[in-house]
Amino acid sequence: MDPTTATSANSPELRLDGVRPLIRSFLKGLTEERWRLIRQGTPDDATQVMLADLLRKIVDIVVKAVMAVAININVSVPEECVQSSVTNTLTDSFSESLASIEGVQSVSTEELTRLIVEEVTESVTTESSISDGSSKEPVRKRFPPIQRLESMVKHASTMLKAFSEKLENVYRPQRRKSRSQLASKEDHSELEDIELLDKNGHPSEATPRDSSEDSYVTSATQMVKEVIVKEMEEITEPFLHEVPDTDYEVLQTESSKDIEAVAGDIAQTIAEEVISPKKPDSTEPESPETKQPGKLSIKIIRSKIKNFFTKRIAKVLIHRIVVEVKGEHHLDSSAERRESTESLLADVESLLLKEDGDRYHEDYVVKKFKKISPGKAHVFTQDLSDLLYRHITDKMPQALPAKKRKKTSCRIVIVPELHANMYADINNKVYSFLVVMNYWVNFLALSHSKRVAHTLMDLNATAQLPAKKTALGDGPVQDVQKKNKLSVNAFVARLTKMIFTKAKVDGFMKPEPILQHLFKKTWAEVEYLDFVITENSDEIIFRDLCKRWGSAKGVLIALQLEDPDIGNYIVSCFKNYVTKPKRNARFFPFVRKSFT
């Protein structure tokens, strides 16, 4: 009988205590910017991945609770009981985290609960059918419909939106120390010391044309690196809070090397389009490819971005499994050696990049998570579980004789009875990891890669060929940038003065802190854009601000509180009113069309 569908006069109690700490941990990973996007109904990619991960863990906890009741006291759990327990746990957990407000019931909460119960019911039914009746957790044969997880994430986002105004006052962003930046700088300095060699291994003798191209590639590489580092930290940092310092540093070092490689590849792809145009006197007929030179390249760039982020997210989530298992099973991780972590990451990468046979390729990591059948899910879960178990126990158990499996040669490790529960826990976490990665690849990876590519296009002006310097100064590029900085400063000063004047502020309130904060934020966003500030642009933006915040006094209060919304709004208005379309790179106008 299905443990979740039977009825009983006295419904058994489900122990869902593990849900509360999961929700608290999730909330602490949300930054103010993420709350702003949630409030707008447009959660960012990082929030959606975090939600998918949270919801899978909640499903696992509920499944374990239902199975525990069915196994330990041989009582079936009515579906209504599961529904009630999940609803109460979700609302109570958020209320407890908020400390002072009552639980809020909404359509999204009800729909989210319904979807969780559906997933739990199907999972319990499958596990019950293959369980041998022992206390060991059975191997899952079923892979859940990914559309259900997508719907769960959407309803959870809507539920969070209702809570957002109160939640943002409770949780503040938790930032990792700047060790990642330090590691990146150290790795970059090492790479700078490597002399450029030609294909024969000798120091290259660059021609003027080569020097220009090298300079362009170097500049573009740095630009791409900065974008990728920021995007990667936004997505992966919430999953690294519990990772020990040594492991964190190893992950960052490996990540820096991967970033350097992919940034160089992307910059080189851009350079081949920008610096190597078709010669004007060429008599070669134009082919369809040469008429639209950016389309193929942008596909290559998006593919590189998608492969890189999928692999990095997978590695971070896998390493977090190791940390969680060691913590939950009280294993000492203080003596973890750097070499051991490096070895684990290398083994994980081989598993991620390996397809049938002995072929390895970056594209395989996305394909591996794109379409997952129950059979492939079982094989991958077994392979990764074995790998992680061997690492966690720091030994290589003697392998049993190979059992025949379709299209695989995986080996089964010997797991002592003492470690049976731990291995089952690893297996369960790997399975959930696979579900989350399937969600990422199918619903987020493509849009994320397009957005990152858009960001690179918006910043391409920073990677132009160097202008010839004159004896009178730093050159035209530097001169223009200095003038732009002065113009932005003057614009912000005029806007700030107008706000203070219209708000009729007393003399004790000084505008300097607001002016400095606003200038710093605006310049950081528009430093590399091409713009012309008109005489009345500050007046136009001031009127827009008053419409949105009610009055000049409302605008001033928001600025005093350093409300991120008003800073972002001013920058957005600035870009809309004074920036000009880019004309300095023939590559990007073509590639932008491929997005529309």
Examine the pLDDT at 397 and tell me if it is beyond 50. no
What confidence tens digit (pLDDT) does each residue in 150-163 have? 999 999 999 888 87
Examine the pLDDT at 525 and tell me if it is beyond 80. yes
How much of the chain, in percent, has pLDDT values that exceed 90?
23
Phi and psi at residue 53, to the nearest 5°: -65, -45
Q: How far is CA 431 from the centre of its chain?
A: 20
Higher pLDDT, 312 or 350: 312
Q: Please say whether the beta carbons of 454 and 595 come within 8 A.
A: yes
Please tell me the number of Cα atoms within 13 Å of 453 on its side-chain side. Answer: 29
pLDDT of residue 547: 87
What confidence tens digit (pLDDT) does each residue in 473-493 have? 445 555 567 777 877 888 888
pLDDT of residue 506: 60
pLDDT of residue 520: 87
Examine the pLDDT at 523 and tell me if it is beyond 80. yes
Average pLDDT score over residue span 198-211: 42
pLDDT of residue 57: 94
pLDDT of residue 478: 59
What confidence tens digit (pLDDT) does each residue in 35-81 have? 888 988 899 999 999 999 999 999 999 998 988 888 777 767 788 88
What confidence tens digit (pLDDT) does each residue in 71-108 have? 777 767 788 888 888 988 888 887 777 654 555 567 78
pLDDT of residue 233: 92
Give the Cα separation of 78 and 75 in Å (integer). Answer: 10
Which residues make Cβ contacts (< 8 Å) with residue 413, sequence separation at least 6? 386, 389, 390, 397, 399, 400
pLDDT of residue 548: 87
Give the Cα separation of 62 and 152 in Å (integer). Answer: 15
354 - beta bridge partners? 360
Q: Please say whether the beta carbons of 486 and 527 come within 8 A.
A: no
Q: Please say whether the beta carbons of 392 and 331 come within 8 A.
A: yes
For the ranges 137-146, 204-213, 282-291, the maximum mean pLDDT occurs at: 137-146
Confidence of residue 131 (pLDDT cuts 50, 70, 90): low
Q: Which residue has the tokens 């509180």?
A: 561
Q: What angle (nearest 5°) sits at the alpha carbon of residue 573, between those of residues 572 and 578?
A: 110
pLDDT of residue 473: 43
pLDDT of residue 232: 93
How much of the chain, in percent, has pLDDT values that exceed 70?
68
Examine the pLDDT at 3 and tell me if it is beyond 70. no
Higher pLDDT, 517 or 72: 517
Examine the pLDDT at 586 and tell me if it is beyond 50. no
Confidence of residue 286 (pLDDT cuts 50, 70, 90): very low
For the ranges 107-121, 128-142, 437-451, the maximum mean pLDDT occurs at: 437-451
Helices (H), 371-416: 374-393
Give the Cα separation of 81 and 5 in Å (integer). Answer: 9
Tokens of 251: 């992950």
Give me the DSSP letters along 39-70. HTT---HHHHHHHHHHHHHHHHHHHHHHHHHH
What confidence tens digit (pLDDT) does each residue in 230-249 have? 999 999 999 998 888 888 99
Longest dimension (CA), the chain: 92
pLDDT of residue 289: 42
Average pLDDT score over residue span 367-371: 91
Average pLDDT score over residue span 162-174: 59
